[in-house]
Structure 1
Amino acid sequence: MIEQSHPAGASQFVVTSNRGFAAYAQDELRALAPGTKFAELIAGETYAMRIPLGREEAIAAVLRQEPIFLRHMHPIDAEIACAGTDGDIAPIVSAIVRLYDPADRGAAIAVQIRKAEGFHPGYETGALRDAVSAALKEANETEMVVKDAKRIVSVFLNNGVAYIGISPPEYNLSDWPGGAVRFRKEEGQASRAKFKLLEAEYAFGLDLSGFRKALDIGAAPGGWTSLLLERGAEVTAVDPAVLHPELLTHPRLTHLKRNAGDVQFPPDTFDLLVCDMSWSPKQMIKLLLPLLAALQPGGTAVITLKLMHGKPFQTVKDSVRAMQPDMELHKAKQLFHNRDELTVYLRKRR
């Protein structure tokens, strides 16, 4: 039997952050709706959230003021008893079929199944996914996809209960399961830092192929530079350290083996500035400030801020304030590929 989980004036969601940063995400969500409560599913990372707002109202509030540390969420539209045996599959599948909106008949859907730590059902999650997919295809002629789904069917298996939700990808903040964005490492890849910029492109709605001239500060070993070159930009990489050998002969690369504090450029030279240095935010911003004149009006900056003192919200405020009035913050987000850091997307005022 389906137990609906969102009485009038309240709703529930499964919410996920990077491990160890859930407390910050919870603070942000409580600020949106005082009285919001959380029950742990995966320690320091995933929680069942009960928020004193209706389902659509809660989603609208999160999308309007997206929390920095909330990586992923999905609504809990139903709860089904979950004993961890093969007997779980049929009632979960039946509940999903009943929840599915017939208006979405024939739509491309993704089925995402996760489970709590310490919960080890006597069936593979893949078997449950296949059963859900087959049932929806038979009942609604849906097309199963991994990416670019119109609807995501989310199932979180916990000891005693399965949380089920159906939602468009934008309601989940990410169309990856749990917001865990996975890229495949390429042969000869300069560094895994490339994944961070790839994810930033996705999370911030950027199209890196639209930039012509990019400045990469603290570029070595060249993960971000390599992606910008792949996207077609002319890249000036500034770092006294050595870049990956495969980059050095690229015709659109200029490598200045100098410290960022020792270089200067004519005004309005670049339409993109990126920086992924491991320095403290205060030191890094001090280095970047003189270089902002080289960024064109309307130009974009993507910068990683290290969280070194346990005050992430203050770090963002202080860093953005230091770059005003020239720069305007568009979004700050702790990405899946961030660790003790977050990434900010800024635009230079025209």
Structure 2
Amino acid sequence: MEELRRLFKEIKLQQLSSGEVFSFEVPEDREQVLTEIEDHEPIFLRHIQPVDHVITFSEDTDDLEELVDIVRDARKVFEGKRTAVHLRRVENSPFPYSAADTKAVVEAILIDIGSELSLQQPEQILSLYASKDSLLIGWGTPRELLSDWPGGAVRFQREEGQISRAKFKLLEAERTFGINLAEHKRALDIGAAPGGWTSLLLDRGLDVTAIDPAELHPSLVSNRRLTYLKKNASEVKFSPNSFDLIVCDMSWSPMQMGKLVLDLSQALSSGGDAIVTIKLMHRKPLQTIRDVMQKLQEVFIIRKAKQLFHNRDEITLLLEKR
């Protein structure tokens, strides 16, 4: 909300779901707002839903009939496009219909007007949000909405034998940042234990050097593409251009993490990538982020900064070595 206040001077905000969902109004038109957010994407905003129509609940079939009419009238938006339907609701919303029933009705209309239903890689998303008194309806492309997942909540299925949930953070970073980890060859994982990120990098076919004084998971240590240094990262040095990827997900203070990554950056080839998390331990997260990013810019170009769904009190950065 603070980031949007800085982006739009005349903004009105209203909380819809505590700590998670809010609505906002600004004088600018829809296209101006979406363009401004795309050009200056906030770190903490994972999903945006334009509100093109509002249905005040009557709690009878008129609500669904009005929704059907709105979708029919928007034929030109969806006709010939792969479309996904997302429905979310605030807790205790009086909207009487289940997600399955609502989607079944809407999807039937979309098919009737010539749209193709698609959960994977949709071209358009019809978003419905049931608040405490109304149904908010809007649509846009995944790029405009910042995500093709409902509410920006990227969910992965836990695998048997998975070492830690931290793996989901790196999976989401790969998807959100539009990078392919498998295109890299040699990675350095700083503060690797117990090995969630290391395991994903090995799965992608990389040679991985993992540094941590704590133990890696036993399932990893026999992997022939893994070099495990049971040390503090500050104690090791590498030759220049030893790696084309550095990752770091350490529970250290932000400035200490930044210094450590900078100290080891000489081992990263020019143009190489780094994916690091900044733990937000202090009361002024935006100031902390600015301070760490300013320090990292001595060596790196900051490609993107995002608070991912699988982040907790932290954000994730995608960096490129100058």
TM-score (norm 1): 0.89
* Candidates 302, 307, 322, aligned match of 1:329: 302
- Shift in Å at residue 193 of structure 1? 0.2
**1:169 Cα offset (Å):** 0.8
CA separation of 1:85 and 1:263: change in aligned 2, threshold 3 A: farther
3-state SS in 2 of match to 1:130: helix
Could you say what the CA RMSD is over the residues aligned between the two structures, in angstroms?
1.3
Q: Within 2, Cα distance between the matches of 1:85 and 1:199?
A: 40
Is 1:132 the counterpart of 2:126? The answer is no
The reply on whether 1:209 has 2:211 as its aligned counterpart is: no
Partner of 2:22 in structure 1? 47
**Distance in 1 of aligned mates of 2:220 and 2:60:** 53
> What is the CA deviation profile of residues 106-146 of structure 1, one whole-angstrom value per residue up to 9, with x for unaligned ones?
32110000112221433212100110001110122x22121
Q: Give the counterpart letter for 2:245 in structure 1.
A: L
Task: After TM superposition, list the pairs within 5 Å mapping 1:201-280 onto structure 2.
Answer: 201-280=174-253
Q: Indicate yes or no: 2:129 matched with 1:156.
A: yes
Map of 1:96 onto structure 2: 71
Q: Residue type of the partner of 1:152?
A: I
> Which of 267, 275, 278 in structure 2 is aligned with 1:305?
278
1:60 aligns with 2:35: yes
- Partner of residue 51, structure 2: 76
Unaligned runs of 5+ residues in structure 2 are none
Q: Structure 2 counterpart of 1:276, which letter?
A: D
Q: SS where residue 254 of structure 1 aligns?
A: strand
Q: How does 1:172-211 map to 2 (within 5 A)?
A: 172-211=145-184
Asked if structure 1 preserves the Cα contact closer than 8 Å seen for 2:188 and 2:247, the reply is: yes
Contact in 2 for aligned 1:108/1:145 (Cα 8 Å): yes
- Rounded to whole Å, the distance in 1 between the matches of 2:185 and 2:59 is 54
Q: Which of 133, 140, 150 is the equivalent residue of 1:167?
A: 140
- Residue type of the alignment partner of 2:111: K
Q: Say if 2:100 is the partner of 1:116.
A: no
Q: For residues 258 and 16 of structure 2, what CA distance do their matches in structure 1 show?
A: 38
Rounded to whole Å, the distance in 2 between the matches of 1:187 and 1:106 is: 40
Structure 1, unpaired ranges of 5+? 1-25
C-alpha distance in structure 2 between counterparts of 1:61 and 1:211, whole Å: 33
Runs of 4+ that moved beyond 6 A: none
Residues 22-50 of structure 1, C-alpha deviations (whole Å, 9 max, x = no match): xxxx1211222101111221112111111
Letter in 2 for 1:37: K
Is the Cα contact below 8 Å between 1:83 and 1:160 reproduced in 2? no
- Asked if the contact 1:80–1:91 (Cα under 8 Å) also holds between the matched residues in 2, the reply is yes
Q: 1:320 touches 1:327 (CA, 8 Å); kept in 2?
A: no
Distance 2:113 2:75 in 1: 10
Output the CA distance in 1 between the equivalents of 2:170 and 2:59. Answer: 39
Deviates more, 1:307-316 or 1:215-224: 307-316
Which residue does 1:21 correspond to in 2? Answer: none
Query: How far apart, in 2, do the equivalents of 1:96 and 1:40 lie?
Result: 27
Give 3-state SS (helix, strand or coil) of 2:113's partner: helix
Distance in 1 between residues matched to 2:58 and 2:157, nearest whole Å: 35
SS in 1 for 2:155: coil
Q: Which amino acid counterpart does residue 67 of structure 1 have in structure 2?
A: P
Contact persistence 1:82–1:157 (CA under 8 A): no
- With 218-227 and 240-249 compared, the bigger mean Cα shift is at 240-249
Normalising by structure 2, we get a TM-score of 0.96
- Distance (whole Å) between structure 2 residues aligned to residue 151 and residue 234 of structure 1: 39
- Aligned residues of 2:191 and 2:211 also touching (Cα < 8 A): yes
Task: Find the aligned partners of 1:47 and 1:100 in 2 and give their Cα distance.
Answer: 28
Q: Residues 75 and 113 of structure 2 are in contact (CA less than 8 Å); yes or no, is this contact kept in structure 1?
A: no
